[in-house]
Amino acid sequence: MPIEIDPFHAITISRLAHQMGAEGRSVIHMEFGQPSTGAPAAAIAAAHRILDTDAMGYWESPALKTRIAALYDEAYGVAVAPEQIILTCGASPALVLALSCLFAPGDRVALARPGYVAYRNTLKALHLVPVELACGEAERFQITADAIERLEPAPAGLIIASPANPTGTIIPPEELRAIAEVCKRRGIALVSDEIYHGLSYTLPAESMLKHAPNALIVNSFSKYFSMAGWRLGWLVVPEALIEAARARMGNLFLTPPSLAQHAGLIAFDCRDELEGHIETYARNRELLLKALPQMGLRRIAPPDGAFYIYADVGHLTNDSLAFCEALLRDTGVAVAPGLDFDPVDGNGFVRFSFAVSTPLIEEAIRRIEPWLAARTLVSADD
């Protein structure tokens, strides 16, 4: 029998949001984790030149692999060979490659709850068994070495994300080191999703490669580089898995888009423009962290990085999907239901993405404030 995969409920919200937009309604899209800005201007200009001069085809850019490998030395002081970089069609295929290289059907893989919906569903689709560990305020909504130590039997693998989706929390360096040590001692393979690296507001995020040289690292151009639609990512693999990862990439996905690879290489030289996006996200984060508690949403996961606010709305609803649909229909503000990220406790949470312009954040706050006030009054009367 085929494996049943849960839907991605934020897509339902987004579909309704786009339908409302087509009907002429003013909609603010805060439901997806994607920058509202486009690719860097120089990368777009390079893509135009390539379209005029290159027929393109199946291709892996040696220059791009070399540049990505250099990033690990520059940012983390870790040596990575270009051959260890597998270029992918975004981070999602990179995750599929990592899991299929490491695990066999029936293997148990641990992950945080709340966590990115596709971790759980991709594991299921590959006939692996997700072992979700509840991570609440006491753990700053993150996996801990102690939780991995207590798991019996030891899982075959562990997926971590720092900064995390939906919370934005970052695992401190000392905890990353402790997690790596526990996994090494217990024979647990590590997959680290580092797609939000570069988007930090408190402490910087460290790569798990600093502590676990054999970890598989997922990353992409979608978040920091503002190139979600270009479908370009990468997987860092240890030397022993290079051929296995290449074989899976070639058979399952061939190569990433050639045009995206040309643009991605140029994007590395656009740091000033990209850092300007971070300044916008930081302003948006501060606006929401000030406004939401004043609206009664006081329990918020620490948004150390990424571009999310994961807020507790349990005093207002026990159905986060219906809550998000009502918010969208009434105010035109689209946010993601916590149910996507936590199938157990997520009905009491919603996720706000603040990767939009600051004026849109300000407008969203103006729309949400009276709506939440009315809901709070109704809840108090009940």
pLDDT of residue 380 exceeding 60, the answer is: no
Q: What is the DSSP string of 154-168?
A: PPSEEEEESS-TTT-
* CATH code reported for the domain at 41-267: 3.40.640.10
Number of C-beta neighbours around residue 329 at 10 A: 12
Tens digit of each residue's pLDDT (9 = 90 or more) over 197-232: 999 999 899 999 999 999 999 999 999 999 999 999
Written as six digits, the tokens of 255 are 């190569």
Distance, in Å, from the CA atom of 203 to the CA atom of 216, rounded to the nearest integer, reads: 23
Q: Residue 7: what pLDDT?
A: 84
Decide: helix, strand or coil at residue 110.
Answer: strand
Lowest mean pLDDT among 1-5, 34-38, 240-244, 345-349: 1-5
Mean pLDDT of all residues in 85-89:
98
Q: What percent of the chain has pLDDT over 70?
A: 98
Q: For 258, how many CA atoms within 13 A lie in the half-sphere containing its CB?
A: 11
Count the residues in the chain.
382
Distance, in Å, from the CA atom of 100 to the CA atom of 104, rounded to the nearest integer, reads: 7
Distance, in Å, from the CA atom of 222 to the CA atom of 33, rounded to the nearest integer, reads: 9
Distance, in Å, from the CA atom of 272 to the CA atom of 7, rounded to the nearest integer, reads: 38
Tens digit of each residue's pLDDT (9 = 90 or more) over 19-78: 999 999 999 999 998 998 999 999 999 999 999 998 899 999 999 999 999 999 999 999
Average pLDDT, the chain: 96
User: What's the longest Cα–Cα distance across the chain?
Assistant: 67
Interstrand relation of 108-113 and 349-353 (parallel, antiparallel or unpaired): unpaired
Distance, in Å, from the CA atom of 197 to the CA atom of 208, rounded to the nearest integer, reads: 11
Q: Residue 3: what pLDDT?
A: 80
pTM of the shown model: 0.95
Q: How confident is the model at residue 381 (pLDDT cuts 50, 70, 90)?
A: low
Dihedral class, residue 213 (left if φ above 0, else alpha if ψ from -120 to 50, else beta): alpha
Ranges of each domain in the chain: 9-37+271-381, 41-267
Task: Tell me the CATH class for 9-37+271-381.
Answer: alpha beta
Q: Where are the alpha helices (DSSP H) in the chain?
A: 9-22, 41-53, 62-76, 91-102, 117-125, 145-150, 173-186, 242-252, 258-267, 271-294, 320-331, 358-381
Distance, in Å, from the CA atom of 311 to the CA atom of 228, rounded to the nearest integer, reads: 25
Q: Residue 44: what pLDDT?
A: 97
pLDDT of residue 361 exceeding 70, the answer is: yes
Distance of CA 167 to the CA centre of its chain: 10
Q: Residue 378: what pLDDT?
A: 61
pLDDT of residue 382 exceeding 60, the answer is: no
- Residue among 329, 301, 296, 333 nearest 313 (CA): 296
Phi then psi for 350, rounded to 5 degrees? -135, 160
Interstrand relation of 333-334 and 28-29 (parallel, antiparallel or unpaired): parallel
pLDDT of residue 143 exceeding 80, the answer is: yes
Same fold, 9-37+271-381 and 41-267: yes
- Residue among 328, 343, 363, 375 nearest 12 (CA): 328
Interstrand relation of 129-134 and 108-113 (parallel, antiparallel or unpaired): parallel
Q: Residue 2: what pLDDT?
A: 75
Decide: helix, strand or coil at residue 309.
Answer: strand
Q: Residue 189: what pLDDT?
A: 98
